[in-house]
Chain A
Amino acid sequence: MRKFAVISALLVIVTALSGCAQIARGRAEIDKLFITRILSIDKTPDGKVMLTLTTKSLQIGGNGGGGQTQKGESVVSEGDTVFEAARNLLIYADRRPHYGHTEYILFGEEIAKEGLLPYLDFISRQYEFRYNAKVYIVRGATANSLVKKTNTQKMFVGDRIASIEESAQNTTLSTTVTLNEALLIFDNKNLATFLPFIEEKKAIIKEGEEEKSDVLLRGYAIFKRDKLFTFTSEEQARGISWIMNRSGSGIIIVKSKAGEKVSLEIIANKAKQIPRIEGNELRCTIEMSITSNIGEIMGTETLLNPESVKYLKTEQEKIVKQILEKTVRLSQENNLDQFSTITKFIFKYPMMRDYFEKNWKDLYPDVKFDFKVDSNIKGTYLLNDPTGSTEKVMGE
C-alpha cells in the first residue's frame, strides 16, 4: 500500500503539477509537423498582418542512389492581429506549424516602421520559439517577397543568411542580434535598438542564365523605441560594432606616405566607455585599442621598416577615430543611445540612477565624448618585399 501511495504521488506530481495542463495533447508525430525555419512578418496594403512560414527543402529517398529534392515550402496567412494570422495558418497548412526550429525572424520594412513590440511580444509568449532565433529587418521590401525571390531549389535562403552571418565576422559590417537580445533592449526605455538588416540584390549571373536574387547583409537598422528610424551606412555600422565590441575581423584601408593603398587586417579590437562628471558636464571617453596586420600593399613601396609602420599606425588611428566620431555624432543627433552609455554612467554613479533614468533623453545629446585610439600594427603576412620594389635599385 505504501508503494502504491508513493507511485501515485509521483504520478500526480509529474502529470498534474508540471505546468502543462493538457500534457498528453502535445503529442504529434514529427512528420506531421510543418517545421518552420523562417518566420516572416509583414503588413499587407490593407493593413493586415501577414505571416509567412518557410521550411527547408527535404531530401527524400536515398536507397543508395541519391534521392530527390523537394522544394522548400512556404505557407502564408493573414489576420487582423498576429494571433489571428497565426491561427489562420492552420487552415492553409496541411501540417501543424511548429516554431521550435525557427532560426530567423524577418520583419518587412513597413511593419518595422509601425513598431515591432506587438509581434516580439507574441513570439516571446509562444512557448515553441527559441530565444536564440535571429532577428533581421528586410530593407526596401516585404520579408515575404525577399524569401520568395531568394529561396530556390538549390539554395535555401536560411542557409544563405547563415553563410553571410559567418562572413560578416570578417567584414565588421554587421553582427547578429538574437530574439533574446532584442527583447532585452526593447525592455529598456533608455536604450535604442539596432537590428541587422538584409536586402535583396540581383545576383551576378552568366550570360544566358535566368535572373537570380541574392541576400546581402548591409548594416544595422536603428530603432527609436520599437519603431524603425533609419538604416546605417556601412561606416556607421562598423562604428556601432566597434563600440559595442561586437565585431571580429575587418579591413581598414589607409594610404602610405607614397600615397599607395595599404590594406590593414584587424586582428583584435576592444572598446571601453569611461564615463565621468566634470562640473555640471557629463563626459564619456571611448577608449579603443585596435591591432592589425599589414595584409596587402597596392604598390611597390617597401613598408617593412619602423618609420613606415609608425606612419601607418597614425593613419589607422585617424580613420578609426573618424568612424567613431561620426557614429557617435549620428547617435547623439538622433538622441538614440545605442551604446548603452546610460548603463556606464549608472554603474559609475549608482546613487544618481533615478536621475539618469528620468532625464536621459535630455542628457544624452549633450554628453561630451572624447576618443582615444590605441593603434597597433603587429606584423605582416608579407615575407618578401613587394614585387617591383627592387626595380629602381637594379636599374641604377
Chain B
Amino acid sequence: MSPNAKNNTPESEFQTEDKLYNTSTEVTSDNIRSMLGSNADFTSRTFLIRDNSKIPATLAYIDGLVNSKLVNDNILKPLAQEKQFDTCKTAADAIGLISMGIVYSSAMKLRTNLKDLIDDILEGSIAIIFNDAKTAFTFEAKSDLKRAISEPAAETVIKGSKDSFVEELRTNTALCRKKIKSPYLSVEEISVGKQTKTTIAIVYMKNIANRKLVDEVKQRLEAFDISATLTPGVIEELLVDDKYSTFPQVQYTERPDRFCINIVEGRVGIMIESVPTTYIVPGTLLQFIQALDDYSFHFIVGSALRFLRFLAMFVTLVFPGFFITITTFHPEMIPTELTFSIVASREGVPFPMFVEVMILLIAFEFLVEAGLRLPKAIGQTVSIVGALVVGQAAVEAKLVSPATVIVVAITAIAGFTMPNQDFSNALRLWRFIFVILSSIIGIFGLTFGLIFLLYHWCKMETYGVPYLDPFVANEDEQLHDTLFRFPFSTMKKRPSSLNTKNKKRME
C-alpha cells in the first residue's frame, strides 16, 4: 500500500468526527467514544451511582492528563458512597444533587453539547456522562505535569529574583499576580490555533495601559487563522509590524520581574500556554540594549554598563567592516606603529583581508551554531576545536593573521553582551552586510550601510511607537533612561510614546 493510499483510508472517519464535533451534537457516551475511542490513552467506563441500576453514568478522561488520586477520592468516591444519592430515582435527580456540590470539586461544569465536553476532556478534566439526560459534568482534575519554577537560564542577573516562567500558563499568571498585587492587573485569555487551541493570556494594567494597544494586540492574535501555535515564533510573527525586518519588535523574557516592570510601565504582556517565554509589546530598540542589572546597580555604575553595551553594539556591528576599510582602503587612518604590527602579522597570509575576515566570521558562526545544537555533555568539544583549530592552527598555518583573529574575537565578544538574543542575531546578520559594503568601496560603503540601517530603524514602528523611541519624538525627561540611566527620582513619568492612561510613574 502506498503512503498516499494509507492516508486516504481514514478520511471517512475524519468526516464522521467533523460531523460530531460541534455544539449541536448530543452528549452521549457513544458519541464520545466515536470521537476519542480510538485513542489508546482515552479511558471510559460505565458505572452505577450508589449501585442504583436506574442511574448509570459513564466516566471518561484522558489518561495522564488527570490526577487519578483526585478522581478517585473527590469524584468517584462521593458518587459511590454518598448516601444522599439513595433518594435519587432518575438521572435528573442525580444531576440536581451534583449541581448542588455533592462532588468535591471547585471547578465543575455542566455540559450539554459534545464540543464543549470534548474540549474540557482534552484540557485535563474528567467527565461524568448521563446518557439518559444527554448531560455531562466535567470536573477539573489536572495532573501535575508541570516543571518546577527554576532559575532563568538565559537571563541571569547578579541582583534580583531567581524565579522564571514555566510552561504552565496558570503558574505564570500566578507569578505575575504575586508581584503585582493590584486589582487593576488584568489577565484576558484567548485561544489561538485550530488544532492546538493554545491559550494565550494578554496581561496589562487596566488603569495604566492604553486600551487601543490592548485591543490591537487582541485583534492581531484573533485575526490569525492558523492550525498550530506550538512555537513562540508563530505568535511573534503575528505581533510584529514589519515582518521583513531582522530586528526584533517584540521583547521576550523568561523573568517575571522584567515582565511585571514592563506591565506596570503600561506595556502589554503576552503569555502563551506551554511556552516559558513571555512577550512584551511594543518593543523598541532601547529595550533590547537595556538589562535588568542596569537598575539593580548604582545609577553611575548602571549607566557605565549601559554605555558599554551601546559601544559593544556599535563594535559588533561595524568593527570587522571598519577593519577591512582601514587596512584595504585607508591605511593612513591607522596609527603608524599599529600599521606595522598589522603588516607584520599578515606576512605570509595568502588571502585578501576581506576573505580572511569572512573566513573567520563564518567559522565563528559555525561554532555558535554547533554550540547551540550540541548536547551539553559534548559542548566543550566545540570550544576546544574552536580555540585550537580556528584560532591557533589557522594562524600557524598562515590561513589567517593574528590581528584578524583578534578583530573577529572582539566582535564576537561584543555581540554576546547584548541582553536580547534576537537583537544580537540581527546585528550578526547586518555585520556581514557591512563587511561586504566595506570591501567594495571602503569607508563610503560602511557609511552607506550605516545610513541605510539608520533609515531602516527610523521608518520602523511597533504599535505606533517609533522603533528609535525615545531618541526620536520624545518628551522632556524620556532621555533620562537611554544611553545613561539617571537616578529614579528624575524619572517621574512613564514613556510618553506609550500614551498611557496614568502618565506619572511617581509623584
Contact = CB atoms under 8 A, between A and B. Distances in A.
Interface stretch (B96-104, B132-140, B329-337, B358-366): B329-337
A130 B342 contact: no
Interface residues of B, number: 30
Given A6-B455, A130-B332, A30 B339 contact: yes
Interface string B342-361: 11101101001100000000
A79 interface: no
Contacts of A35: 331, 336, 339-340, 343
A24 B340 contact: no
Interface in B290-328: 327-328
Contacts of A27: 328-329, 442
A60 B336 contact: no
B93 interface: no
B332 A98 contact: yes
B336 A31 contact: no
Contact of A24 (B333, B342, B402, B440): B440
B447 interface: yes
A306 interface: no
B441 A31 contact: no
A259 interface: no
A231 B448 CA distance: 52
Interface in B423-479: 440-442, 444-445, 447-448, 451-452, 455
A33 B442 contact: no
Contacts of A29: 327-328, 346, 352-353
Contacts of B352: 29
A352 interface: no
Contacts of A225: none
A101 B337 CA distance: 9
Interface stretch (A7-15, A171-179, A185-193, A372-380): A7-15
Interface string A121-154: 0000000101000000000000000000000000
Contacts of A6: 455
B344 A60 contact: yes
Contacts of A60: 344, 347
Interface size class of A (residues with CB under 8 A): 20 to 34
A383 interface: no
Which of A27, A56, A58 counts the most B-chain CB atoms under 10 A from its CB?
A27
A11 B328 contact: no
**A interface majority secondary structure:** mixed
A28 interface: yes
A394 to B, nearest CB: 58
Interface in A85-131: 98, 100-101, 103, 128, 130
B151 interface: no
B331 A37 contact: no
B452 A100 contact: no
Contacts of A23: 441-442, 444
A101 B342 contact: no
A30 B336 contact: no
Contact of A30 (B353, B441, B448): B353
Contacts of A56: 340
Interface string A351-382: 00000000000000000000000000000000
A305 interface: no
Contacts of B353: 29-30
Interface string A13-48: 011001000011011111101010100000000000
B329 A26 contact: yes
Which of B339, B342, B402 counts the most A-chain CB atoms under 10 A from its CB?
B339
Contact of B344 (A15, A33, A37, A58): A58
**B interface majority secondary structure:** helix
Contacts of A37: 336
Contacts of B347: 31, 58, 60
A63 interface: yes
A59 interface: yes
Given A27-B329, A30-B327, A14 B444 contact: yes
B396 interface: yes
A33 B332 CA distance: 11
B451 A101 contact: no
Nearest to B447: A14
B84 to A, nearest CB: 74
Interface string A282-300: 0000000000000000000
A7 B452 contact: yes
Interface string A234-250: 00000000000000000
Contacts of A10: 448, 451-452
Contacts of B333: 100
A23 B330 CA distance: 12
A23 B328 CA distance: 12
Contacts of B331: 30, 33, 35, 98, 100-101
A203 to B, nearest CB: 25
A24 B445 CA distance: 10
A16 to B, nearest CB: 10
B246 to A, nearest CB: 16
Nearest to B439: A27
A10 B455 CA distance: 11
Contacts of A18: 444
B444 A30 contact: no
Interface string A274-317: 00000000000000000000000000000000000000000000
A341 B447 CA distance: 47
A4 to B, nearest CB: 12
A100 B440 CA distance: 21
Contacts of B444: 14-15, 18, 23
Contacts of B455: 6
A11 B440 CA distance: 12
A26 B452 CA distance: 23
Interface of A: 6-7, 10-11, 14-15, 18, 23-24, 26-31, 33, 35, 37, 56, 58-60, 62-63, 98, 100-101, 103, 128, 130
The 3 closest A-B CB pairs, nearest first, are A100-B332, A31-B346, A30-B327
Given A101-B331, A101-B332, 7 more contacts: A7-B452, A18-B444, A28-B329, A29-B328, A29-B346, A37-B336, A128-B332
18 contacts: A7-B452, A14-B447, A15-B444, A26-B442, A27-B442, A30-B331, A31-B347, A33-B331, A35-B340, A35-B343, A58-B343, A59-B341, A63-B396, A98-B332, A100-B331, A100-B332, A101-B331, A128-B332
